[in-house]
Structure 1
């Protein structure tokens, strides 16, 4: 089995500790990244609907009870603005950069690259964090603008797939400081977008009813458990997509086998 293509991917995933890193991704995302995004969503000049709408959009929650469970998990946008100082905003941005550093380290390990020099790291992590925030913001706003009618829905799906692909293709190349050629990273970007689409479908059919039942049984803690499980899935797809793309590149490029 280990000599087969699937066996090599499995062995690489085991060596990379994909599940453990996905769990670390979820914890760090919720601790370091989500608070920053909560503030960004609260100051949204177009529609201060709050970060809960970002989660509802990402999980593809259509059930009103499941969506309401997520809304109850976060403070209102006005309350977030009233309680956020300049110092706390700076600290949130700093913690967000630590999340970017974790993703960068994961990509480097997947591609067996040494850590990049410190002077190349920090500014790239800051830029990646800013672009990620803009990407998520644009996705949520486009879903709000294109939510009615079949043509608008098709346009939203196409835009989500295209911009998702472009973001993850660029993100790998940028965080790896250009040490891998663009063609090598293309399969990973495709795999990541396909995986996220699959995770959205899984969330719709599995996480949505689980949110309702878990909230009824355990209250906000039950809601948080399901949302955190979804973040683990996101981490698994982000790292797993890049890992799979790494092997696709090796299979299709004889010189690097």
Structure 2
């Protein structure tokens, strides 16, 4: 039909004029953005819940208090959702029942299982840059280190978002800077150093911008959504609400990493083309 032919013609012209758009579309489709985001969100949730109970069981009260304050800062918790968090992170001094229930073997299993989150993120980075999987011997310690650093970053969310007492205006700037450094380092670490630092910067900046915007909106949307879900559906509603939010965040991060990789590769192609066109051939040499 005429309109089909016209669409194909317009698509061909767009590819010719803006090859980066065609490459970006193809990369996002090949990476299956929604599927990757859902997988990462699910792995993040499955890693976060056992780790939260591990912190509640083995960490000192000061660390548990810091975790509670940071989670309040991340989600703006209040009401029923805040009371549920307190139930997990607070137990009487000397009460070792939770430690006995969890056990050190259980803690080890939790840590090993939580590396599935690291592996899922590593696969996204490798797919974005079209790199083969790094060998387990090379990558295994990187999964553990990345997971530990992520836990530490979550613990520090409270003071970071409060600007270490200066207020939200500084907290937003600090959060963006910390997020940029985190996603820059994340790509470098999980890609096993196969991509230069500078090439990873566009994706890190995009991921930091997206997560910073979502962090601001989370404090507006998440508290009411969590309390409403708890009132209507109980714990199941809590799970569905958190998973939905994690999928949105994961999709933003996945898209940012892919877009950053495509932009860098397009810049490198244009640079190589300019160098080839600028160098005279042997036949043209004087």
TM-score, normalized by the shorter chain, greater than 0.5: yes
Identify the match of residue 136 of structure 1 among 144, 148, 154.
154
Cα shift at 1:71: 4.2
Question: Aligned pair count?
Answer: 250
Q: Which residue number corresponds to residue 223 of structure 2?
A: 208
Q: Which residue number corresponds to residue 56 of structure 1?
A: 72
Q: Relative to 1, partners in 2 of residues 1:204 and 1:141: Cα closer, same or farther, differing over 3 Å?
A: closer
Distance 1:225 1:98 in 2: 20
Q: Normalising by structure 1, what TM-score?
A: 0.85
Residues 50-89 of structure 1: pairs in structure 2 closer than 5 A: 53-59=69-75, 61=76, 64-65=78-79, 68-69=80-81, 71-72=83-84, 75-78=88-91, 80-81=98-99, 83-89=101-107
5+ residue gaps, structure 1:
none
Cα shift at 1:8: 3.4
Q: Relative to 1, partners in 2 of residues 1:232 and 1:55: Cα closer, same or farther, differing over 3 Å?
A: farther
Bigger shift: 34-43 or 10-19? 34-43
What is the root-mean-square deviation of aligned Cα atoms in Å? 2.7
Cα shift at 1:178: 0.8
Distance 1:13 1:145 in 2: 35
Residues 194-233 of structure 1: pairs in structure 2 closer than 5 A: 194-233=209-248
Q: Relative to 1, partners in 2 of residues 1:145 and 1:89: Cα closer, same or farther, differing over 3 Å?
A: farther
Distance 1:207 1:91 in 2: 30
Distance 1:52 1:233 in 2: 23
Q: Relative to 1, partners in 2 of residues 1:153 and 1:167: Cα closer, same or farther, differing over 3 Å?
A: same
Cα shift at 1:104: 0.8
Cα shift at 1:53: 4.5
Q: Relative to 1, partners in 2 of residues 1:87 and 1:180: Cα closer, same or farther, differing over 3 Å?
A: same
5+ residue gaps, structure 2:
1-10, 92-96, 274-286
Residues 173-212 of structure 1: pairs in structure 2 closer than 5 A: 173-212=188-227
Q: Which residue number corresponds to residue 240 of structure 1?
A: 255
Greater Rg by CA: 2
